Amino acid sequence: MSLIRQIWCLVIGAVLVSVLGGVAVSTWSLRDLLQTQAQLKNNDNANALALALSQQKGDVELMSLLISAQFDAGAYDSVRWRNGQGKAVFERHLEIAQKPQAPAWFVALLPLQVAPGQAKVSDGWRAVGEVEVRGQTGYVHEALWNATLRATLWLLLVGVITGVTAALVLSRLRRPLDTAVRQAEGVTEGRFETVLEPQVPEMRKLTSAMNAMVLRTRQMFEAQAEQLRTLHHQLLCDELTGLSHRRQFVAELSSALERDDGPLRAGLVLLRLKDLQGLNQRLGHGGTDQALLAMAQALRVYPEQVRGCLAGRLNGSDFALWLPAPKVVGDTANALADALRAGLQGVDPGIGVALGAVELPRDQPMSAWFAAADAALAQAELGDGVVLELRQVAPSEEVAQGERAWRALISDALVQQRSRLLEFPLIGRERQVLHLECPLQLKLNPLGEFEPAARWLPLALRHRLSAEADLQALALALAAIQQDHRPRCVNVAPASLNDGSFIARARELVQAAPMAVRRQIGLELAEPAAVQHFEVLQELGRQLRPLGVQLGLEHAGAGLAQIDRLFQAGLDYVKLDSSVVSGVSADAGRAAFVRSLVVMLRSLSLKVYAEGVTDALDAQALWDCELDGITGPWASAQDIKP
């Protein structure tokens, strides 16, 4: 039982005891008073009647008539006159006893013990007998009942006033208490919020202690994030330049090429500092390092300013820049070449740099990307100074035509609901399915095959159709869960959050489903959503998580440490990107970084999964890092427990 309920029970109990006790004491006291008054009245009536009889000179007839007349006047239950020898001379009793208006149970509960009044009758100095008078007591119970009712009503009124006052006081106390409870619940959910201190001294102390705890926990998280950034720099970045080293860059590029929400075409720029050995001999290691740092500084601008850009140092003299957008590689490569000419001029005018830039369809394998860029780089090395060689593969006729007409194709497929969900398992350590990842496919041509999201999603994003696609995926997942009761999650493009009606429509879809279905649906957003649309992400969580929907972040990696207020995002789980977990079994530093990520995320009460796992050794290494689940080709190939 809650504290407030216990206080309410105490208040109600105290009021009831006070009312019942007050009524009981008042009633018993009043009964004693009325009983005494009735006794005195009997005595007074007996004395008055005896005095009147004494004046009749002992005439029995007159005395009998007087007693009878007195009895007939009412208010007597019985009258008895006995002579000097104790023999009854005259006696009258009320034939029909007066029925009191008080309830029978009340009369039985409070019986009256009133003795009859007695007085001596005399004739001068001669005693002629004794008279006994017993008055009616029905009116006593009636008066006692009415007085009890009035006392009860007054005490109940006092009790109501006390209850209202107690409610106001408890409400005043409950507000800071509820705030403290919500604050504590927020801490368990990874939200670190401070609140205003109330006026109640005891609650002020509690709130002050909670605020101090929240601030300390937030500081601990921020310290963990800073340590994570440092660890990322030490383990996954080149020591000199701070850019990703070759293995990390290749892993990040592989992940970017495999994502469904990437562009149809992208660019890759390879850079090479010419004659590295000769520069070391001419400028020394310090001068050569300055040249390398100048190149790194020119490259670092792009990942910092453009989401999705990748930059890395491939080896001693080679660098790479990935541009996730079509038709920008030429302008970017020229701007980069100009920046290098200006930056290297202060180091040594004779430094030469070759740049090879290519733009290809994103569905090309990584080997084709590096082969094309290497060919351009080799051609650029033939020149002097900073030389750029740009090669672009023209879009195929099919792509060019499709880009012009694809909006209509996508819209028609969504309207006609020519869509389906694929299912890829996320498994736990015991090979049990935690949920099914369900990417959406569309049949763009009514007579054709279903197309993967990588083929149509980039254009859907460009034409602002991603929200409709995501809502259709959510509806399909809810219907599938209702059929087989297996948990599922669907991807939500960060661009969908820009649609002002998306959250409301998603809430309507979820609310229409039974509660058992709601608890088995999840929504996933890519890591950029936590940076670009943080407030909208919070609102999505506030609207859908109370309905039972799980909210997760996918493609997450080192950028998690850069997300401000991650503890306030309202997430349930995080999926680490394949670029983070790939090769973890053979790289102790990468394993340490993953383990640090897990510790930080677990401190925020988040579950941690790994995506894109292809190797059994990597899977075992990830289990050793205490991850909660794994997805990817390796997971799909396992024997799944029902």
User: Measured between alpha carbons, how far is 221 from 228 in angstroms, rounded to an integer?
Assistant: 10
- 8 A C-beta contact, residue 581 and residue 618: yes
> Is 3.30.450 the CATH classification of the domain at 3-160?
yes
What fold does the segment set 244-394 form as a domain?
Alpha-Beta Plaits (3.30.70)
Residue 192 has pLDDT above 60, yes or no: yes
Q: Quickly state the pLDDT bin for 398 (edges 50, 70, 90).
A: very low
One-letter amino acid identity for 251?
A
- pLDDT for 321: 94
3 state DSSP class of 156: helix
Residue 63 has pLDDT above 80, yes or no: no
For the ranges 30-34, 271-275, 407-411, the one whose mean pLDDT is highest: 271-275
Listed in sequence order, the residues at least 6 apart from 512 whose beta carbon sits closer than 8 Å to its beta carbon are none
Architecture of the CATH domain 399-636: Alpha-Beta Barrel (3.20)
**Cα–Cα distances in Å, from 196 out to 3, 173, 273?**
22, 14, 58
Average pLDDT, the chain: 83
Residue 480 has pLDDT above 90, yes or no: yes
Listed in sequence order, the residues at least 6 apart from 291 whose beta carbon sits closer than 8 Å to its beta carbon are 273, 279, 283, 344, 347, 348, 351
Tell me what the mean pLDDT of segment 392-409 comes to.
62
One-letter amino acid identity for 410?
I
User: Measured between alpha carbons, how far is 136 from 146 in angstroms, rounded to an integer?
Assistant: 18
User: Measured between alpha carbons, how far is 471 from 318 in angstroms, rounded to an integer?
Assistant: 44
- pLDDT for 575: 94
> Which among 166, 165, 189, 350 has a CA at the least distance from the CA of 274?
350
Whole-prediction pTM value?
A: 0.67
Greater confidence, 468 or 167?
468
- pLDDT for 524: 93
Residue 404 has pLDDT above 70, yes or no: no
Listed in sequence order, the residues at least 6 apart from 354 whose beta carbon sits closer than 8 Å to its beta carbon are 271, 272, 274, 377, 380, 381, 383, 387, 389
- The tens digit of pLDDT for each residue in 521-559 reads 999 998 877 777 888 888 888 899 889 999 999 988 767
Of the CA atoms within 13 Å of residue 389, those in its CB half-sphere come to: 19
- pLDDT for 526: 87
- The tens digit of pLDDT for each residue in 72-106 reads 776 777 788 787 777 877 777 776 655 667 777 77
Domain boundaries, the chain: 3-160, 244-394, 399-636
Residue 115 has pLDDT above 90, yes or no: no
Percentage above 90 pLDDT, the chain: 26
Tell me what the mean pLDDT of segment 286-296 comes to.
91
- pLDDT for 558: 67
Structure tokens given for 130: 């004794």
Residue 196 has pLDDT above 90, yes or no: no
Which has the minimum average pLDDT: 225-229, 263-267, 349-353, 416-420? 225-229
- The tens digit of pLDDT for each residue in 605-626 reads 889 999 999 999 999 999 999 9
Phi, psi torsion values for 492, nearest 5 degrees: -120, 125
